[in-house]
Amino acid sequence: MNVALAKNETGRALSDSFAIARDRLPGTGKIAAARGAAFDAHAQTGLPHRRIEDWKYTDLRALMREVLPLAPAPDAKELTQAATALKLQAIEGVRRLVLVDGMFAPKLSDLDSLEKGLAIRTLREALEAGDAALHDGLFTPDNANPMVALNSAMMTDGVVIDVADGVVLTQPIQIVHIASAPTPAAMFTRSLLRLGKDAGATLVESYIAAEGAKAYQVHDSLILSIGNNSRLDHVRLNEDGREAFNISSAVVTLGAHAHFNTFGMMAGAGVSRYQATIAFAGEGSRVETNGVNLLNGKQHADTTLFMDHAVPNCASREIFRAVVDDRAHSVFQGRIIVQPHAQKTDAKMMTRALLLSDEAEADNKPELEIFADDVTCGHGATTGALDESLLFYLRARGLSEKEAQALLIQAFVGEAIESIVNDDLRELAITAAQRWLEARG
Amino acid sequence: MSLLEVKNLQVRVEEREILHGLSLTVNPGEVHAIMGPNGSGKSTLSHVIAGKPGYEVTGGEILFRGEDLLEMSPNERAAKGVFLAFQYPVEIPGVATMNFLRTALNAQRKARGESEFSTPDFLKKVREVAARLNIPQEMLRRGVNVGFSGGEKKRNEILQMALFEPAVCILDEMDSGLDIDALRVAADGVNALRSPDRAMVVITHYQRLLNYIVPDFVHVMSKGRVVKSGGKELALELEASGYAQFEDAA
């Protein structure tokens, strides 16, 4: 442990927590060693703070202060409450995989009659089995990002999904994260989805809270590998409790002629950060990554995207919308790197924020680093309030102030939601946005 | 009881008084034309009746069926039956016209304690009215007024008027930006809505519109007041002699 960190109370508490948890964490040998290395890497910086450029707007030392101890396994009562919470937001027709307080809940999950070519197991099983073939996949992210490194060190459970070559799943898979522990606790999860060649899948991730769960911390990561000619549709809906922390990372790799359509909505959690790294590893691939932040109260939500155009002839589109009310704070950081040989890259990013109060804040930070000369790249960012003339027009037609605002907010986030290719997923996002608008009153 | 009574209305915008004691009484079934040069306060009057923010009423009152209109929010006024056809209808990208119409109609019905329209009933009603106004279905699927021509925007206003069935319609410079054919279509739409229960206030700079929407009364506004009232022949008189004669009267 380095000296600088030892001076820091949070760091000390965290290393104690890791030391205590260490023996309970699944996996031995090579996996335990990788955990140790990841924790040391995290400990080099500790919780990231504003002097680290990537975390300038999301200072975890100020916002989070401490990492809570690992959540205990949910008891019968908590599992019942989790089941109730699940029922309230159930989505029809999906294969549901449920994690309660960071642990796979087999009774709430659907592992029956898996389609041919689909394999699912829990992360815990995979780690305990010490599967050498899986090791590299699980530790795909390097330890450069301190919160990803922390997740690598502490991950306890999650799901590992493999879709074989040529298999196109018709039934979407939903991973539901439910917090149920009544005492403040942290959960560390990691899931892995590997799509073979010529394959297809639809993945929904949901984050919700059961009754009684309040100040909890979600530390999640998702590793996606999309093979050649494969396509993944992905929707991520965060409706965590308002006192919760959610620090999630996605690490995505696309093969050649692959397609990744992803949409994220942040409506829950007091403090959240979603950081996604998307790397093109094969030519002719396409990514649409869109997102919406719907924030009020004192919420803080940070979406940080890193698009790595490492090969030629790939296209990426980023559309991001933030609706910020009260004293909430929305952050969007989008970095696009076009590597020197990645000619014919077509990358665009558009981010817009709508401020509904004088105290709301939105920070947009687009960064383009282009090292190739034959590319099409562009970005735009705007921040503004609702147009008074539009509001008056709607009110003169009979809509109350809230109704008029709701209609304009729906229109504002519409473009990001419309880009969801899958009809059912789009409906899901629209419904989640409506829930937020209705809760607003 | 009169439908709409404007009594000695005084209105300021940013410290400047625009209306200096304007009075107007409108009864059911009547069509009133308000004419006047630019800057005489015509649009201000329409905005204040509809409840647009940014205007300070410093004196006088507006009664709608005897109720104090100025105490009501813009949406309450709409639900009570006040309709303003905008001079420049705004474009609302991302809000489909159909969705907007239904939301607005149901909001008004709900405010009046009436049941909301079912989807089939609503669609039937909109299609009927749209066909009458020569509005293609495709237009209803687009964002509100997005990419509409000047004439289409005005027809969309009249479509709403027909759908919401207001008691009093204020038409603010309905002729602005319209060629003669578009004007005729719009005017026909308005005339079809004339009824013994409904009143209209037609605000216009030019007499031309009044060839198509023939008023019962004509009021000339100048410098924030009504300076002369008369029958429809007053409009023709104005066409011949211009507004200059009234500038001094104000």
The reply to whether A60 falls in a domain is: no
Residues B20-35, mean pLDDT to the nearest whole number: 96
Residues B165-190, mean pLDDT to the nearest whole number: 91
Q: Is the pLDDT of residue B205 over 90?
A: no
pLDDT-based confidence at residue A289 (cuts at 50, 70, 90): very high
The pLDDT, as a whole number, for residue A245 is 97
Single-letter amino acid, residue A225: S
pTM here? 0.88
User: Does B204 touch chain A if contact means CB atoms closer than 8 Å?
Assistant: no
Dihedral over alpha carbons A407, A409, A410, A416 (to 10 degrees): 160
Instruction: Give the bridge partners for A336, in sequence order.
Output: A307, A368
3-state secondary structure of B240: helix
Q: Is the pLDDT of residue B17 over 50?
A: yes
Residues A130-159, mean pLDDT to the nearest whole number: 91
Q: Give the helix/strand (H/E) hosting B100.
A: helix B97-111
Please list every residue in chain B whose beta carbon sits closer than 8 Å to the beta carbon of residue A411.
92-95, 143
pLDDT in tens, A224-257: 999 999 999 999 999 999 999 999 999 999 999 9
Q: Which of B75, B92, B104 sits opposite A390 (nearest CB)?
A: B92
CB of A344 closer than 8 Å to CB of A312? yes
Please list every residue in chain A whose beta carbon sits closer than 8 Å to the beta carbon of residue B51.
395-396
- Residue A360: name the closest of A323, A324, A413, A308 by CA: A324
CB of A234 closer than 8 Å to CB of A206? no
CA atoms of B24 and B225, how far apart (whole Å)? 10
CA atoms of A400 and A306, how far apart (whole Å)? 40
Q: Is the pLDDT of residue B215 over 90?
A: yes
Q: Is the pLDDT of residue A17 over 80?
A: no
Q: Is B16 exposed, middle or buried (0-12, 13-18, 19+ CB in 10 A)?
A: exposed
For residue B160, what is the nearest residue in chain A, using CA coordinates?
Answer: A397
User: Does A323 touch chain B if contact means CB atoms closer than 8 Å?
Assistant: no
User: Does B112 touch chain A if contact means CB atoms closer than 8 Å?
Assistant: no
The reply to whether A23 falls in a domain is: no
Query: Pairing mode, if any, of strands A200-209 and A186-195?
Result: unpaired
The pLDDT, as a whole number, for residue B19 is 95
- Residue A389: name the closest of B143, B54, B96 by CA: B54
User: Does B93 touch chain A if contact means CB atoms closer than 8 Å?
Assistant: yes
Residues A105-109, mean pLDDT to the nearest whole number: 96
Q: Is the pLDDT of residue A402 over 70?
A: yes
The reply to whether A423 falls in a domain is: no
The pLDDT, as a whole number, for residue A4 is 41
Instruction: Give the bridge partners for A249, in sequence order.
Output: A221, A275
- Residue B63: name the closest of B27, B105, B89 by CA: B27
Residues B44-52, mean pLDDT to the nearest whole number: 96
pLDDT-based confidence at residue B206 (cuts at 50, 70, 90): confident
Nearest C-alpha of chain A: how many angstroms from B53? 8
The reply to whether A172 falls in a domain is: yes
Q: Is the pLDDT of residue A126 over 60?
A: yes
Q: What percent of chain A has pLDDT over 90?
A: 79
The pLDDT, as a whole number, for residue A415 is 83
User: Does A400 touch chain B if contact means CB atoms closer than 8 Å?
Assistant: yes
Mean per-residue pLDDT of chain A: 92
Q: Is the pLDDT of residue A6 over 70?
A: no
pLDDT in tens, A109-120: 999 999 999 999
For residue A408, what is the nearest residue in chain B, using CA coordinates?
Answer: B95
User: Does A385 touch chain B if contact means CB atoms closer than 8 Å?
Assistant: no
**How many CB atoms neighbour CB A438 within 10 A?**
10
The pLDDT, as a whole number, for residue A7 is 45
3-state secondary structure of B145: coil
The pLDDT, as a whole number, for residue A8 is 61
Contacts of range A50-58, beta carbons closer than 8 Å, 24 or more positions apart: A54/A145, A54/A304, A54/A333, A56/A365, A57/A302, A57/A329, A57/A331, A57/A333, A57/A363, A57/A365, A58/A271, A58/A273, A58/A300, A58/A302, A58/A331
Fold classified for B4-249? Rossmann fold (3.40.50)
Q: Is the pLDDT of residue B250 over 80?
A: no
The reply to whether A220 falls in a domain is: yes
Residues B64-69, mean pLDDT to the nearest whole number: 96
The pLDDT, as a whole number, for residue A67 is 83
Nearest C-alpha of chain A: how many angstroms from B230? 30
Q: Is the pLDDT of residue B219 over 90?
A: yes
Identify the residue with better confidence: B70 or A14.
B70
Q: Is the pLDDT of residue A2 over 60?
A: no
pLDDT-based confidence at residue A10 (cuts at 50, 70, 90): low
User: Does A386 touch chain B if contact means CB atoms closer than 8 Å?
Assistant: no
- Residue A305: name the closest of A260, A267, A273 by CA: A273
CB of A309 closer than 8 Å to CB of A279? no
pLDDT in tens, A32-89: 999 999 999 999 888 999 999 999 999 999 998 788 888 999 999 999 999 999 998 7
Q: Is the pLDDT of residue A1 over 80?
A: no
Instruction: Give the bridge partners for B225, in sequence order.
Output: B222
For testing the chain B interface, which of A397, A418, A437 should be mutated: the one with the most B CBs within 10 Å? A397
- Residue A114: name the closest of A185, A192, A173 by CA: A173
The pLDDT, as a whole number, for residue A66 is 81
Quote the Cα angle for B37-B40-B42, to 5°.
95
Mean per-residue pLDDT of chain B: 92
Q: Is the pLDDT of residue A100 over 50?
A: yes
pLDDT in tens, A418-427: 888 888 888 8
pLDDT in tens, A363-401: 999 999 999 999 999 999 999 999 999 999 999 999 999
**CB within 8 Å: A411 and B93:** yes
pLDDT in tens, B98-126: 999 999 999 999 999 999 888 898 999 99
Residues A154-176, mean pLDDT to the nearest whole number: 97
The reply to whether A399 falls in a domain is: no
Residue ranges per domain, chain B?
4-249
**Structurally, how many domains does chain A consist of?**
1
Q: Which of B83, B89, B107 sits opposite A400 (nearest CB)?
A: B107
The reply to whether A39 falls in a domain is: no
The pLDDT, as a whole number, for residue A140 is 83
Q: What percent of chain A has pLDDT over 70?
A: 97
**CB within 8 Å: B103 and A408:** no
Instruction: Classify residue B91 by its DSSP letter.
Output: P
3-state secondary structure of B26: strand
Query: Pairing mode, if any, of strands B56-64 and B4-13?
Result: antiparallel
Q: Which of B52, B77, B94 sits opposite A414 (nearest CB)?
A: B94
Selection from A1-15, B40-54, B169-183 with the highest mean pLDDT = B40-54
The reply to whether A45 falls in a domain is: no
HEC string for chain A: CCHHHHCCHHHHHHHHHHHHHHCCCCCCHHHHHHHHHHHHHHHHHCCCCCCCHHHCCCCHHHHCCCCCCECCCCCHHHHHHHHHHHHHCCCCCCEEEEEECCEECHHHCCCCCCCCCEEEEEHHHHHHHCCHHHHHHHCCCCCCCHHHHHHHHHCCECEEEEECCCCECCCCEEEEEEECCCCCCEEEEEEEEEECCCCEEEEEEEEEECCCCCCCEEEEEEEEEECCCCEEEEEEEECCCCCCEEEEEEEEEECCCCEEEEEEEECCCCEEEEEEEEEECCCCCEEEEEEEEEECCCCEEEEEEEEEECCCCCEEEEEEEEEECCCCEEEEEEEEEECCCCCCCEEEEEEEEEECCCCCEEEEEEEEEECCCCCEEEEEEEEECCCHHHHHHHHHCCCCHHHHHHHHHHHHHHHHHHCCCCHHHHHHHHHHHHHHHHHHC
